Structure 1
Amino acid sequence: TLPWPRRRFGGSSVFQTVPALNQYWHPWLLGARAEGYAVLGDEKWDLDGAQVYGEKNWGKGGFPESWWWGQAQGFADPEACVAFAGGQVHSGPLRTEVTAVVVALPGGPVVRLGNPVTSPVRATVTDETWSLQGRNRRWSIEIEAASPIGSAHVLPVPLPAERRNVPGAIEHLAGSMSVTVRERGKTVWSGESRLAALEHGGLDRARAELDRRGADSAATDGPPLL
């Protein structure tokens, strides 16, 4: 396994010290190998050697009003792992937009960007594209990802205060992602994956997508159109 290497802060960095935020994020497992199998109807899939990733989300109010997320392995070098998460976070009068990016470099360090002052990340997200650029004094990371909206699932998210689920996550499970990491301007790793998980979330956005598909806007399982 490749667990998160730092003891003091996780993926949300200093934001994890701010109490009562609506959302926190931590990619606690940046790589592992599976053993076992899955049975789907009459098919049995061998999962031995499959790559594994694990993260945790928590917060006072459930998911933000709007968010974006991505994660990929399946690069040419199996040690590489990329994850990002962003959205509108708030606690009382504090309200801001933050994106964090984490890259586990093959055989090297884990690089995290996303502190608004020291390592800001700019994210431009549409229904089908995710474009992120972040940097600090030492590192810079560029991510470009894409997947057609018709291939996405519309999946549920919880409303903790109401103890129920509602459609909220537009989820792609096999998008494309290209990543470039530079150290002091020199490219130290770049890679492409065709197995990127990509998400653009929001309750209004999910309802609009279900309406576009002619599905029940209260459904919590909107399958892909393709």
Structure 2
Amino acid sequence: MSFLDRYGSTGADPLFGDPRRAHRGVSMEGYFWRITDPATGRVVIALCGANEGPEGPWSTIGLAAMPNGFVRTEALDGSWTDPDGLGVRGGFAGQGPNSTVAPAFAGNDRELHVNLGEDAKLDVTFHDLKPWPHRLAGGSSIFQSIPSLNQYWHPWLPGGRAAGSATVGGETWEFDGAQVYAEKAWGREGFPEAWWWGQAQGFAEPTASLAFAGGIVTSGPMRVEVTALVVMLPDGRVIRLGDPVISPVRTTTTDEQWHLSGRGFGWRIEVTASAPLDQAFVLPVPLPSEHRNTPGDLEHLVGDLKVTVSRFGRHVWTGETSLAALVHGGLDRVRAELRRRGLDDTLTHAPPVGK
């Protein structure tokens, strides 16, 4: 194994590296796509966690949609991640990554296919891609070069277009020119006490996009709260704030409110968002060494969000959307919410209340 391979196996990437590639050696590497269709108000998310445990590779796979509230997740044997670029396959049940049998999940930078049953399918292709533009570092910025962090994050596709179809429950939806966003996150096993995340499209300006991710980053004795905030302006410029010293983002979250305030390099970005707790999906996170999922995410697929961007005191852009995804995660928090809903607190997924 080369030095770069050993370095990558810790989860780290060198500056000017490519965080989209697989990090063989980490416990989990998660891939996430979100499709937003402002014309219909429909949103679909698809996720695949490629996990490595003592019994071999396995996958956390999920598909969820709004406004119908459909959700299905599975823990399936088999996973493969692309060492040369963006790609993941999961749920091929001992067939091997090169089998002619289609896996339950297969995604790359141009297409995505999910099959969790006749009523849980997604088949889409992507075009007019607006990939991450900064070669120096990915979404984790300088933190991407630090080995063995508990979590790394990279929004490799801030924007683009999707075409295809989704079968979610008893409905089949067609997409033609819908908006797409994609990211990946990876690291060692274990989760912080709490984390927060959001992603938004569906603004009046169709090329605009926003994403943020935060929590407690740890490596050995190092422990620091970090929130990364990324905005793609309507003109295509991508701004990233979140380095604790030079571009800090202050974050306040509750179960129904999110507020972020970031500044750096002359930029100032303010984000306010809200969504009712009853409308959150319960989604799983993996326990790689135990070969199983556990409830860990409270994710809203649709919420209200407003973002205001200025530079050197001059207003640049204000955007609003009612199609924002919002998360306030934490293992204890999610179990408490399942109990509040009168459900078994070991359920790995659940729809919004009333769905």
TM-score bucket of the superposed structures, by smaller chain? over 0.9
- Normalised by the length of structure 1, the TM-score is 0.97
- The answer as to 2:294 corresponding to 1:166 is yes
Aligned residues of 1:23 and 1:64 also touching (Cα < 8 A): no
1:62, distance to aligned residue in structure 2 (A)? 4.4
Partner of 2:5: none
Q: Does the alignment pair 1:155 with 2:286? A: no
2:316 to 188, 205, 210: 188
1:118-160 deviation digits (Å, cap 9, x = unpaired): 0000000000000000001410100000000000111101122
For residues 150-207 of structure 1, what are the alpha-carbon distances to aligned partners after superposition, in whole Å with 9 as ceiling and x for unaligned? Answer: 0011110112232221000001001010000001111101100110000000100101
C-alpha separation between the residues in 2 aligned to 1:42 and 1:73?
Answer: 26
Residue from 209, 214, 218 that aligns with 2:342: 214
TM alignment of 1:1-226, pairs within 5 A: 1-226=129-354
- Where structure 1 has 5 or more consecutive residues not aligned to the other structure, the ranges are none
The one-character-per-residue Cα deviations of 1:73-109 (angstroms, maximum 9, x if unpaired) are 0000001000000001111111111001000011141
Provide the C-alpha distance between the structure 2 equivalents of 1:97 and 1:146, rounded to a whole number of angstroms: 22
AA in 1 matched with 2:279: S
Post-superposition shift, 1:43?
Answer: 3.1
CA RMSD of aligned residues (A): 1.1
Q: Is the Cα contact below 8 Å between 1:23 and 1:61 reproduced in 2? A: no
Residue 117 of structure 1 and its aligned partner are, at CA, apart by 0.2
Cα drift, residue 65 of structure 1: 2.7
Cα distance in 2 between the residues matched to 1:199 and 1:96: 20
CA distance in 1, matches of 2:322, 2:334: 24
Partners of 1:38 and 1:111 in 2: CA distance:
32
Q: Deviations over 1:17-58 (max 9, x none)?
A: 111000011000011111112234553312111100000000
Rg comparison, structure with higher value: 2
Contact 1:62/1:160 (8 A) holds in 2: no
Residue pair 2:207, 2:236 contacting (<8 A) in 1 also: no
Give the aligned length: 226
- Tell me, yes or no, if the aligned pair for 2:258 and 2:274 is still in contact at 8 Å: yes
Query: CA separation of 1:42/1:164 partners in 2, compared to 1, >3 Å: closer, same or farther?
Result: closer
Rounded to whole Å, the distance in 2 between the matches of 1:59 and 1:132 is 24
Look up the SS of the partner of 1:4 in the other structure: coil
* 154-163 vs 143-152, which moves further: 154-163
Distance 2:224 2:287 in 1: 21
CA contact (8 A) 1:76 1:191 kept: yes
Deviation of the 1:70 alpha carbon = 0.1
TM value normalised by structure 2: 0.62
Equivalents in 1 of 2:229, 2:289: separation in Å? Answer: 29
Quote the sequence identity (%).
63
Q: Which moved more, 1:208-217 or 1:57-66?
A: 57-66
Residues 67 and 202, structure 1, Cα contact 8 Å, conserved in 2: yes
